[in-house]
A and B are shown apart, each in its own frame.
Chain A
Amino acid sequence: MKSFVKHSIAFLGFSSLIYLILIFVWGSVMPVWLNNNLIYKQRGGHLHSRLAELNKHQNVDVLFLGSSHAYRGFDTRIFKESGIHSFNLGSSSQAPVQSLLLLKKHIDNLQPKKIIFEVCPQSLSSDGIESALDIISNGKIDFQSIKMAIDLNHIKVYNTLIYSSIRQLLNFDQDFVEEQHIGKDIYISGGYVQRDDVQFEYKSPLEKNINPEQMVAFKELVSWVKSKDIDLILVQAPVTTTEYHSYADNTGFDKLMQDYSSYYNFNTLITLDDSLHFYDPHHLNQLGVETFNNELIDLLID
């Protein structure tokens, strides 16, 4: 029995080492479509560019957090025109767990006076995997990222964490510069991603049930921001009318958000045209962003 246990432990060590090596080799050599459970820098969202220019934006008036609704919905140039220095720290499918992580990591540098946290049923119902993969493959791996991976306990997150850590250890991404134009998206300094596309692409709505872990992180974020004496505004960014009405309980969601901080639901505050202001059910085009942001600025100034 002793010999069996000894050999099992030795094999565990051996296979772990081979696993690390193979993850690195596979991720580096194999085409992306063959890497089922390894997602490295494969998503849009420009988080890499955002994090790379973060040091240039200190003491901001407004910090935006949230999912693609945030980084595609809050144009920092429009806010600048009104004298508001802002930075957009949104990322792909960013859920409260990841918002909290990013906020804790970068608050000392950004020192925001106000935080606008984009909330929607999707982000509260999200498992956080997509967002974690985005952060792990674009940000620096540290204790917080490892803790997040363990909390999520998902094979894709572990594999990406291993791969990303090895690349960072070997300085493989030192000279990596993200393209500013990816597909139809243009990255704008300050964290916003612009898309002028006016052609509307329909996507069927998904079911949304609030994920308790995201709710815990959301509450923690709210109380943490308040403890730092920073103004927190919760914003639900506009989506198409059809998408918005597919949500199960909009009134309930609004009531829930109002319990935590100042809350504005722009799906009820402004009227937008689905085919004129959106390029898909979730995302505003540039025309829609301008309308939405100007309304938000008016509210902030008031």
Chain B
Amino acid sequence: MLFNSLDFAFFLPLVFSLYWLFHKSIKIQNIILLIASYYFYSCWDWRFLSLIVISTIVDYSVGLSLSKEESQKKRKALLWLSIIVNLGFLGFFKYYNFFIEQFIQSFALFGVAIKGNSLNIILPVGISFYTFQTMSYTIDVYRKKIKATKDFIAFSSFVSFFPQLVAGPIERASNLLPQFSLKRRFNRAEGVAGMQQILWGLFKKVVIADNCAEIANLIFNNSTEYSGSVLVLGALFFTFQIYGDFSGYSDIAIGTARLFGFKLMKNFSFPYFSRDIAEFWRRWHISLSSWFRDYVYIPLGGSRVSKRKNIRNVFIVFIVSGFWHGANWTFIFWGALNAVFFVPLLLTDNNRNYLEIVAKGRLFPNIKELLSIGLTFLLTMIAWVFFRAETLGHAWSYLKGVCSSSLFIMPNFEGYIQSVICIILLVFLMVLEWFGREGDFAIDHITKSQSRLKRWLLYAFLIFLIGMYIPTNENAFIYFQF
């Protein structure tokens, strides 16, 4: 079931009504959420629900055992049990074929032919997200940062919470799990904010991302046929497609959770206004970046080691992060490329220059800020080419096509009119994002001090744009494949 589907438009009000009907009992509310979440997930493939159930049972039991166990050796064994089960599922479903192919190709390099059977494996939706979420629970219990829960229903609801089950934000148990044990009261302001955020997310997904996707797909799928200027458009549209798609999903997820009285972590914070790559990574997919920071980077020593080791740690985190996205060298290269962009900032101690949003309290940025934003945007756009391309060779030939003399000719292709429409929509998006950049999400900040009429007019206009520009094919979210 997609957030941008008619099914969800019926599902959400139904679950919402049932949930608040039983506002006096947290237990019943959690049961309703659990059933709704399992139903939501089984709409894709009910068979894979078993993986979630197994992960839930294993991590719940490991958590309880960890809380009772004093022996460090046994605690470590329990932690490894959880990691092996969770990463085992992830490894098998997501990476098995990749490793088999690499193994065969490596031997082929030395002239040894090996017969290997790659399996026809379907990737369970959201496996990378809920695996990391449950792992954070056992790791935190192991580290004694949080106490293990005894409430199995609350824990199951935490693992499978439908708003963020399939594409995050990847929540920490320390933030989300306690919310399942607290009494929830409906708060009108939160409900309204949730609806606003859902609307904004939907706009970004169906108007921005899905329209950009049509042209980006056309150009990337036929990249050898187009001029450099058209290829630049393709990269630009993919850059906004992935932003609209993923940040749109996150907004819908966070907004939906707010309707049920839950506060999820922020996942995007206007990343395309970043002044350097370090700032970009503090604003892009925050829940994943901070997960890798807390569970990989810091345990490796983080920045409290020699510069050489620090650089190594940065590369490890970025490469693992790339690999998390998919079993393909393009993702690994994308991660490594971001590390290459990041390291100069680290070496010059400039990686924490921009902690506040650009031009805070001002209407416009200055020239230096504008240039920095432009340069950072260009670097991320280059990196996205690797992320989107089918193979590394495809990415290289794409970039080679960009750097040809045809870069300077007027783009002329069958998606030209659609591109003009997309550019108008992108300008509208970026203007709203700019004026709303000091809020949680763009329209939250813009409408804060406005009269009800003005607010409602803006929301109604967004609904109209959705109706006028929603592509007629239903498009799944990109991050579902991760």
Contacts and interface: CB of A to CB of B under 8 A. Distances in A.
A15 B417 CA distance: 29
A17 to B, nearest CB: 8
B464 interface: yes
B472 A1 contact: no
B469 A19 contact: no
Interface string A147-173: 000000111101100000000000000
A145 B66 CA distance: 65
Interface in B180-198: 186, 188, 191-192, 195
Given A11-B456, A15-B460, A23-B464, A4 B188 contact: yes
B472 A19 contact: no
Interface string A8-28: 100100110011001100100
Nearest to B6: A153
Interface in B430-482: 456-457, 459-461, 463-464, 467-470, 472
Contacts of A222: none
B20 interface: yes
Given A4-B191, A22-B461, A154 B472 contact: yes
B125 to A, nearest CB: 25
Contacts of A4: 186, 188, 191-192
A36 interface: yes
Given A4-B192, A8-B195, A15 B459 contact: yes
A19 B20 contact: no
A83 B463 CA distance: 56
B459 A155 contact: no
B468 A38 contact: yes
A23 to B, nearest CB: 7
Contact of B460 (A18, A38, A154): A18
Given A4-B192, A34-B421, A36-B421, A155 B461 contact: no
Contact of B472 (A7, A8, A23, A156): A156
A22 B466 CA distance: 12
Interface size class of B (residues with CB under 8 A): 20 to 34
Nearest to B195: A8
A159 B468 contact: yes
B188 A19 contact: no
Interface in B8-34: 20
A176 interface: no
Contacts of A129: 472
B463 A15 contact: yes
A14 B470 contact: no
If over half of B's interface residues share one DSSP class (helix, strand or loop), that class is named, otherwise mixed; here it is helix
Interface string A81-121: 00000000000000000000000000000000000000000
A156 B468 CA distance: 8
A35 B456 contact: no
A33 interface: yes
Contacts of A8: 195
A3 interface: yes
Contact of A155 (B420, B456, B457, B470): B470
A158 B466 CA distance: 13
A198 to B, nearest CB: 26
A37 interface: yes
A156 B471 CA distance: 10
Contact of B188 (A3, A14, A34, A156): A3
A33 B195 contact: no
A56 B274 CA distance: 68
Interface string B220-238: 0000000000000000000
B456 A14 contact: yes
A44 B296 CA distance: 62
B463 A19 contact: yes
Given A11-B459, A19-B463, A37 B188 contact: no
Nearest to A25: B464
The listed residue with most A CB atoms (<10 A of its CB), out of B417, B456, B461, B467, is B467
B186 A1 contact: yes
A15 B186 contact: no
Nearest to A35: B468
A18 B457 contact: yes
B192 A19 contact: no
Contact of A18 (B420, B421, B461): B461
Interface in B396-413: none
Contacts of B470: 37, 155
A8 B457 CA distance: 14
10 smallest beta-carbon distances between A and B, as pairs: A18-B460, A15-B460, A22-B464, A4-B188, A4-B191, A1-B186, A36-B469, A33-B417, A37-B468, A15-B463
Interface of A: 1, 3-4, 7-8, 11, 14-15, 18-19, 22-23, 26, 33-38, 129, 153-156, 158-159
27 contacts: A1-B20, A1-B186, A4-B186, A4-B188, A7-B192, A15-B456, A15-B459, A15-B460, A15-B463, A19-B460, A19-B463, A23-B464, A23-B467, A23-B468, A26-B464, A26-B468, A33-B420, A36-B421, A36-B468, A37-B467, A37-B469, A38-B468, A129-B472, A154-B472, A155-B467, A158-B467, A159-B468
Given A1-B188, A19-B467, 10 more contacts: A1-B20, A3-B188, A4-B186, A4-B191, A4-B192, A15-B463, A23-B467, A37-B469, A37-B472, A159-B468
